[in-house]
Amino acid sequence: MESDLTAAMPSSSFAGLSVIDWENWRPQWVRNWDKKNVYRNMSVQLVRQKNRHLSDAQAEMQAKWEFETAAQEFMSKTLQLARSLRPQGWWGYYLFPECYNYHYLDSFENFTGHCPPLEVQRNNELIWLWENSKALYPSIYMEEALRTSPQGKKFVWAKVGEALRVAELPSVQHSLPVFVYARPFYTYTLKELSQTDLVYTIGQAAAMGAHGIVLWGDAEYSRNRTNCLKIQDYLNSTLGPYIVNVTTATKLCSQKICNSHGRCVRRWMDSDSYLHLSPDTFQILTVAEGNQTRVLVRGQLRRWQEDKMREEFVCHCYQGWNGERCSARGRGFWLRTSDWLILGVLLSTLWGCCL
Closest by CA to 214, choosing from 134, 141, 163, is 141
CA distances from 62 to 33, 49, 69, 194, 206 (A): 18, 12, 11, 49, 44
**Residues 186/144, Cβ–Cβ less than 8 Å:** yes
Give CA–CA dist 273/7, Å, rounded: 43
Give CA–CA dist 196/153, Å, rounded: 9
312 is catalytic: no
Give CA–CA dist 227/354, Å, rounded: 10
Burial class (CB in 10 A: 0-12, 13-18, 19+), 200: buried
The amino acid sitting at 228 is C
Q: Given 2, 23, 109, 312, which residue is catalytic?
A: 23
Beta pairing class for 321-322 and 328-329: antiparallel
**Residues 248/302, Cβ–Cβ less than 8 Å:** no
Catalytic residues: 23
